[in-house]
Amino acid sequence: MFGMMSGGKGECDFKILSDTNAGDDPKDICVDIDREIAFNVAYGSDRVYITDISNSSNIENISFFDTRDGPDHCEIDLVNSILYVSNAGKDSLEAFDVSDIDNVSQLGYVDGIDAARGIALDLDNSIAYVAGQNADKLYSIDISDSADMSIIQGLSGFDGIEGIVLDLDNSIAYVTGHDADKLYSIDISDSADMSIIQGLSGFDGALQLEIDIERSCVFVICYQSDKLYSIDISDPADMSILSSVDIDSPRFGIALDLDNNIAYVPTYGDDLLYAIDISDVNNIKTIQTLTIGGDLAGVALDLDNNIAYVLSYSENDITSVCIK
């Protein structure tokens, strides 16, 4: 799965380095930089695949482990080496001990999250926030004991809830609703009494998002309007759209390099990895694209080594890309 570069003077230097098997229909990915491994959920395989990324020019799938059914998203607690996986097929959040990748074990799970999708972790307060898409609810989950997790609250009022990011300094969650075409701000100061602050319209098919807390900005990808938006969140009760840039069929992933003010967005339709200049949030623009192929899905960054890891949903691969 190798591709071509396009771009001009002054643009970042994309280069495909290596690829390896990532299971059937890989969707989401997270990396443990210190241990030089990547974890990706494979929706079609009902598994999590583990990839050795110690040599980005020769990445290698080294093992996998089974999940309950339909793994959709993953987040990792690096301090305690716990991987959290949302299972859309089992309506659950699952926790795995990944401290020994040769002997991964399930710690526990909690059911009752209808079509579990996006995950965000508040590790200081031992809370996971999970999107339940079919129920259109945002769930707060007590993860203080991974063997005995429990639902704290299921907040209603969404339509097509999908992605989640957190601003823990201000106790705000931001979530997307792809059927409502909205970005929502949520007061999570009390995880047992969450409430919607605002639902900002104008996002046709809003799916995934990332946050730049320092600049009070959220970036949202929309698969129906084929755009990436920048949104002012300085006042969570009065959010506003700042800028947008055209991207063909963004769907499953976005990652931010805030040191260099670049957003990386893989696309499902034209198989491109986009590099977007976000240095001016009022005028975001494409720097360069790289053809990878295979209906791209999730993306994760290793900024210490200037590498992006990109999943291909239809070719069942993970690809390492030099972004230096």
Q: What is the mean pLDDT of the chain?
A: 94
66 SS3 class: strand
158, 165 Cβ separation under 8 angstroms: no
Judge whether residue 2 has pLDDT over 60.
no
Model confidence at 3: pLDDT above 70:
no
Contact predicate 192/148, CB 8 Å: no
- pTM for the model: 0.95
Which pLDDT band, with edges at 50, 70 and 90, does 5 fall under? Answer: very low
- Give the span between the Cα atoms of 5 and 10, in whole angstroms: 14
CA dihedral 217, 141, 102, 312 (to 10 degrees): -40
Measured distance CA(221)–CA(254) in Å, rounded: 8
Mean pLDDT of the 250-267 span: 95
> Nearest CA to 299 among 112, 32, 27?
27
Per-residue confidence band for 13, with pLDDT thresholds at 50, 70 and 90: confident
pLDDT at 9: 32
State yes or no: pLDDT of 180 exceeds 50.
yes
Q: Tens digit of pLDDT for each residue in 188-236?
A: 999 999 999 999 999 999 999 999 999 999 999 999 999 999 999 999 9
CB 57 within 8 A of CB 320: yes
Task: Flag whether pLDDT at 263 surpasses 50.
Answer: yes
Q: Is the pLDDT of residue 4 over 70?
A: no
- Tokens at residue 122, please? 């508040």
* pLDDT at residue number 249: 85
Neighbours of 262 (CB within 10 A): 20
In angstroms, rounded to a whole number, what is the distance separating the alpha carbons of residues 153 and 142? 10
Half-sphere exposure (Cβ direction) of 15: Cα atoms closer than 13 Å = 7
pLDDT at site 234:
98
Question: Measured between alpha carbons, how far is 108 from 73 in angstroms, rounded to an integer?
Answer: 16
**What number is the average pLDDT over the span 274-299?**
95
Q: Residue 228 is encoded by which pair of tokens? A: 């990436």
Q: Among candidates 288, 259, 300, 305, which has minimal Cα distance to 31?
A: 300
- What ranges do the domains of the chain cover? 27-266
pLDDT band with cut points at 50, 70 and 90 for residue 294: confident
Measure Cα distances from 298 to 25, 214, 311 in Å: 11, 24, 5
Q: Among 163, 121, 146, which Cα is nearest to 252's?
A: 163
Q: Residue 7: pLDDT band by 50, 70, 90 thresholds? A: very low
pLDDT at 318 over 50: yes
Chain segment 81-128, per-residue pLDDT in tens: 999 999 999 999 999 999 999 999 999 999 999 999 999 999 999 999
The predicted-structure confidence for 32-56, as pLDDT tens digits, reads as follows: 999 999 999 999 999 999 999 999 9
- In eight-state DSSP terms, residue 199 is E
Q: Which one-letter DSSP state was computed for residue 116?
A: E
CA dist 208 and 278 (Å) reads: 17
The DSSP H or E segment spanning 208 is: strand 206-212
pLDDT of residue 34: 95
Please report which confidence band the pLDDT of residue 69 belongs to, taking 50, 70 and 90 as the band edges.
confident
Residues 78-94 as b/e (b if ≥16 CB within 10 A, e otherwise) read: eeebbbbbbbbebbbbb
CB 156 within 8 A of CB 137: yes
Q: Cα dihedral angle (187, 190, 195, 201), rounded to 10 degrees?
A: 20
> In the beta sheet, which residues pair with residue 231?
218, 241
Quick one: pLDDT band at residue 70, thresholds 50, 70, 90? confident
What length does the chain have?
Answer: 324
pLDDT at 10 over 70: no
**pLDDT, mean of residues 11-22:** 85
Quickly state the pLDDT bin for 1 (edges 50, 70, 90).
Answer: very low
Does the domain made of 27-266 have the CATH classification 2.130.10.10? Answer: yes
